[in-house]
Amino acid sequence: MTGYFRVFRAQPWCRIALSRGLQCLAVALLASLNSPAYAQQQTDVTIKQLLSTTTTSAGQKIVLPKKGAELVASIFEILPRAHLPEHEHPYPRYGYILSGSLRVTDTETGQSKTYGPGDFVVESVGRWHTGENAGEQPTRLLVIDIVRNGHSNTVLRKSRQSSR
């Protein structure tokens, strides 16, 4: 359980509220920094695209909050052999594995995928899943949530046994 609290109680190091117009501007600015024209102008800058996608890991279309979006960036550290409880995300969540590994299991389908250093993860929205560090070293990941202003992006599933 210790690993769980270190993950879900991590303090964000960046919290920014964006209007819809500013969201579009931020996306356009980030896209322009990744353009071939920008790279040609900056010979001392190397840009390595990590991922370009319009869907989540479950194949869902990426949809941003319609109003009052907030960007929350955090560094998570998951201890070796730590298991994350079953949960879902009501808003988009993106992760970049800095070190270690993370196995994510969709509890509805039973399918698992393991991510390692350098992998970029676009988590599913509204689907129950678990996570675990099955490795021998801590897993560190950069997590970026785009939520409705003031809302959380993690909903823990109530125990199935308590509903019987």
81 within some domain? yes
Domain limits for position 67 = 2-18+56-157
26 within some domain? no
Residue 130: give its domain's CATH number: 2.60.120.10
The first and second tokens of residue 104, run together, are: 């994510």
- pTM (2 d.p.): 0.69
45 within some domain? no
42 within some domain? no
The overall longest dimension of the chain from CA atoms, in Å, is: 63
Distance CA 10, CA 76 (A): 6
| pLDDT for res 84 | 94
- The CB-side HSE value for 55 (13 A sphere, CA atoms) comes to 4
How many structural domains compose the chain? 1
pLDDT, tens digit, 9 for 90 and up, residues 55-98: 998 899 999 888 899 999 999 999 999 999 999 999 999 999 99
Please give the sequence-ordered ranges of beta strands (E in DSSP) within the chain, or none if there are none: 14-18, 69-78, 83-88, 93-99, 102-106, 112-115, 120-122, 129-132, 139-148, 155-156
127 within some domain? yes
8 within some domain? yes
